[in-house]
Chains A and B, each alone.
Chain A
Amino acid sequence: KAGVTQTPRYLIKTRGQQVTLSCSPISGHRSVSWYQQTPGQGLQFLFEYFSETQRNKGNFPGRFSGRQFSNSRSEMNVSTLELGDSALYLCASSLALGPGELFFGEGSRLTVL
């Protein structure tokens, strides 16, 4: 069974640009969550989608957005990039909402110059 797939794995952007990251969950998983990981802050929750609806949102500015498609694939977008957005962005899928095992992808490493 294929795991969670995130693309691209690495990308470099400059300040002011926007970026779109993609996540394909494990087949049959309907919940997709996004986390930002930085050395100083650890893993911080961005948002969670279930059945194409955002169910939870973390404390990030509106420049961070996401969506989920009918096949459960998800994308997140960051507009007007800032240097502080440099991080590893992790996507995780799970079977359903509520606490339970999260299956993480290997992440998309974003560097903002």
Chain B
Amino acid sequence: QQQVKQSPQSLIVQKGGISIINCAYENTAFDYFPWYQQFPGKGPALLIAIRPDVSEKKEGRFTISFNKSAKQFSLHIMDSQPGDSATYFCAPPLGISNFGNEKLTFGTGTRLTIIP
């Protein structure tokens, strides 16, 4: 059974620090690697995604780094703020490599808490 392994399960970071969340996967059906952010009482929302014609993508304080040979990708949050406190999910598309059969498979989530 294809799996996604996300770590750590929970993370506490001081305001202004760097938050790092990692995701390891088996075989993806498609080169598309997203991170979703979920606040309490809300559905997840796409935060940032990479299609690995590049190994890194930066959007503001958020960066995805991708290591294809290691089958890992990570989310870095620079200058972490209390408003970043949320649960983060990686969601690589697993499944049969046949357009339409790939589906986003969510990791178990990382609860990030930014303390003042």
Contact = CB atoms under 8 A, between A and B. Distances in A.
Given A55-B100, A105-B43, A106-B42, A99 B89 contact: no
A75 interface: no
Contacts of B104: 33, 45, 99, 102
B75 interface: no
Interface of B: 29-30, 32, 34, 36, 41-46, 49, 89, 93, 95, 99-109
B101 A90 contact: no
Given A42-B108, A105-B43, 7 more contacts: A33-B103, A45-B103, A45-B104, A56-B103, A98-B100, A101-B34, A104-B44
Interface SS, A side: strand
A43 interface: yes
A104 B106 CA distance: 13
Contacts, number: 60
Given A56-B95, A90-B43, A42 B107 contact: yes
B102 A99 contact: yes
A59 to B, nearest CB: 8
Nearest to A109: B41
Interface SS, B side: loop
A97 B99 contact: yes
A22 to B, nearest CB: 15
Interface residues of A, number: 25
A43 B101 contact: no
B39 to A, nearest CB: 10
20 contacts: A33-B103, A42-B108, A43-B89, A43-B106, A43-B109, A44-B106, A45-B106, A48-B103, A56-B95, A56-B100, A98-B93, A98-B99, A99-B32, A99-B102, A99-B104, A100-B32, A101-B34, A101-B49, A102-B44, A104-B44
Contacts of B45: 103-104
A81 interface: no
Interface of A: 4, 33, 35, 41-45, 48, 50, 55-56, 90, 92, 97-107
A107 B102 contact: no
A41 to B, nearest CB: 7
